[in-house]
Structure formats: structure tokens, C-alpha cells
Structure 1
């Protein structure tokens, strides 16, 4: 009894051919069917030996198995295109012609992908993991259309298109490593470690700035409180001095007024006496 789990195959709907092609090729390769899919089954000659006939029979079984996988991986509309085909290679080629497009369309698409690849730059707020994921997604599409992107090309692309915050670490990598021997994973690990350190420093600076802001606010409030207390104490002494001076000044003024009245009375008496002596 076969207890193996059923194989799940992505269904081709006419719009996802590139992805479908990649997944089916992996499936064929795993089951050792890829050679039959790409090269087909040769015709058996009349004078073949029994051993050759046995080999041919095994190849035909592989071909039928691969064709079954294709039938499982297409929707009803796509199936009509290959319903009468009995050889896997024929079905595979028909689907490629129908959905991958003509060679001219393929070249135009590849040119577009190349242009996008050249213009691709890391955004200022983007993480290393996200940016490298975008680079790899684009190179994978280029591979589907026949453009081979070797590891060194991807490494160099990543390093020259990072934002300015990674400039000094890029210089260090280029000086201390042979880029032709580095993998994308190695570059990614190095850059993400640097990114983590930068993020930690940003957090530390934010905490330090928040602490200094609180200290400044407390210092300002303390100084303002001290100034208010000093002003209140000064106004209290001023009012006390004012009452004291006013009382003292009032006493002097009253004394001055009394002295002035006595002087006026003395002058008036003196004048009266003078007039009396004159008349006598």
C-alpha cells in the first residue's frame, strides 16, 4: 500500500506561466523526469535488443508520469490545448509557445527587467532583508527569460546600490573580501549585523536625548520656582520698609510743620511790638 502524500501541483491558468514553469521543472527533476520532458522519447528500432526494449519501456513510463503531472497542473481551458497530445515534450512545448510568448516578446520583457535591475536602489527607510529580497526577485525573473545572473554580479549590485548609511561598511567589505568568492547570503549577514548595530545606537541616542530633555525641563522649573520665591520675599520687605519710612517721614513732616507755625507766630508778635513802639 502506498502511503505517500499526494503531490500538490500549481495550476496553470494562463497568467502564471513563469512560476508554474519553475515549479514543474523542480518536480520533474526530483522524479528524474526532466530529461524526458526536454528531450522526448526516441523511436524504438525494429532490431533493438531485449535490454534496449526494457530501457525504452521505462522511458515511456517516465514520459506518461510527466504528462500526468502536467495534466494535474492546468485548468480546464489550458487542458484543451494539450488534450490530444500523448508525448510530454509536445505538451510542454505547446504550453511554452502559448504562454511564454514568442522570442521577440521574450527579448522585450528581458530588456525591461534589465532596465529595472540597473535602476534598482535601496530606499532610505528600507531594511537590508527587504532590499536584497527585491534584488533576488528581479534576478529570478531575468533567469526565467534566459538571463543568467551569477553570484558575483548580484553581490556587486547590492553593494553599489545601498543607501549612504552603509557606505563605510561597503568600503570595508570591498577591502577585506574577494567579491568573486562571496555569496549573497554572506553579504546579507554582514550588512544585517551592521544594520542592527545602527538601530541599537539610534535607540540609545533617543533614550539619552529623552533623559537630557527631562533634566532640562526639571532644571528650568526649579530655577523658575527659586526666582518666584526670591521675588515674593523682596516684595514683602519693600512693603515693610515703605510703612516704616512713611511713618518716620510723617513724624518728620509733622515736626517740620509745627516748627514752621511757631516761627510764623514769633514773627507776627515781633512785628506788632515794633508798630506799637513806633506809635508811642
Structure 2
């Protein structure tokens, strides 16, 4: 299945892997089988090349299509890391291992983000729009690291960390509303 011509593939230059990988997952998810081949690889069967079924040929074609999209989605600086791989899954796993880091580095980053969230406060002179954008960005980063943070927790955090000039507004919001 071909993608529409107007679809733009996000290009990875070695920075902000997490954001790129989220965007990139959408490209093959447009056809679920393409993402399956990136995520899980080609389903294994006991067929030999001479007895391959059309289904196996389809999976091989989908793998080639997904690998081509991954190749197109990296800069020339990143490409040598995956240029000799033969499957989309292998290319994806190499990029993930190199740029997302291992479990330890991910855990350290998550701890840092949690600390940042706990210490979050509205800055003097900051407007609500800027503050809420900062909060949303941080919450999205936490969620991208698989942190389960509820909307209720985010609202509560925002309400208690607004600057003093918003105390009346916070009281008006909290009084009649059940934040759960």
C-alpha cells in the first residue's frame, strides 16, 4: 500500500530521538502491517524461498517498504549506522539502542523529569499561556517516558503553583469543582 504523496517523513538528525520516534511511528502505522514489521519483524515460517506463499512475499515487501522509509527519515550523518541492515526492525532497534539509551539512562532521565515536575512553579511575570505550555511540554515528556500522570494531578499541580496574583481565581475554581 503506497502512502499519499503529500505525506512528509520526519527527518532524524541525531537530536531529540524520543520526539522523532513518536512522529516516525505514525508513518508506518498508516498501514498497521508496516508498523508490525518494524516493531516485530517479518513473521517466521518454515517455508523455503521456492515455496514462499504470497503472504510471505507481502511481508517481505512491507519490510522493504518500511526499511526504505526509515532510510529516508535519517540524515546522511545517521544513515551509515543503518545502511547495511536488511530489515526494518533491525534498523529501528539500532536507532533506538543508540539514541534512546538503555534502561538506566531512561530511568535517570525520568527521575530528572519527575523532579522538574515536583519543583515546577509559575515564574514572576509569566503569563498563564506560557506557564501552561511549559507544564504541558513537561507532562508530555513524562508520558513519552511511560510515566502515568493523570490529568487531575496536572490540574492540581497547576493550581497550587500559580503565582499569588491568581489565588482568587484558584479559589473560585476549587470551591465548586470536584477536581477528580
Q: Does structure 2 conserve the Cα–Cα contact (< 8 Å) formed by 1:40 and 1:87?
A: yes
Classify the secondary structure of the residue corresponding to 1:77: coil
Runs (4+) off by over 6 Å: none
* Alignment of structure 1 residues 55-204 onto 2, 5 Å: 55-180=55-180
Identify unmatched segments of 5+ residues in structure 1: 181-280
Q: Residues 93 and 156 of structure 1: is their aligned pair in 2 closer, same or farther, counting only changes over 3 Å? A: same
> How far apart are 1:59 and its partner, in Å?
3.0
Q: CA deviation at 1:86?
A: 1.5
SS at match of 2:78: helix
Match of residue 23 from structure 1:
23
Moved more, 62-71 or 148-157: 148-157
Would you say the 8 A contact 1:122–1:131 is kept in 2?
Answer: yes
Instruction: Report 1 or 2 for greater relative contact order, CA contacts < 8 Å, sequence distance ≥ 6.
Output: 2
Task: Rate the CA distance shift 1:46–1:5 in 2: closer, same or farther, 3 A.
Answer: closer
CA distance in 2, matches of 1:61, 1:128: 50
Q: Partners of 2:172 and 2:53 in 1: how far apart?
A: 62
| Superposition map of 1:4-23 within 5 A | 4-23=4-23
Alpha-carbon distance in structure 1 between the residues aligned to 2:61 and 2:3? 21
Max radius of gyration: which structure? Answer: 1
Moved more, 52-61 or 87-96: 52-61
Distance 1:3 1:171, change over 3 A: closer
The TM-score, its normalising length taken from structure 1, stands at: 0.57
- Count of matched residue pairs: 176
Which residue is 2:44 aligned to? 43
Answer whether contact 1:44 1:53 (CA < 8 A) is retained. Answer: no
Q: Which residue of 2 aligns with 1:34?
A: 35
TM-score, normalised with respect to structure 2:
0.85
Higher helix share: 1
Question: What is the RMSD of the two structures over their aligned residues, measured on CA atoms?
Answer: 2.4
Post-superposition shift, 1:147?
1.6
Q: Aligned-pair distance for 1:3?
A: 11
Q: Distance in 1 between matches of 2:37 and 2:154?
A: 32
Q: Structure 2 unaligned runs (5+)?
A: none
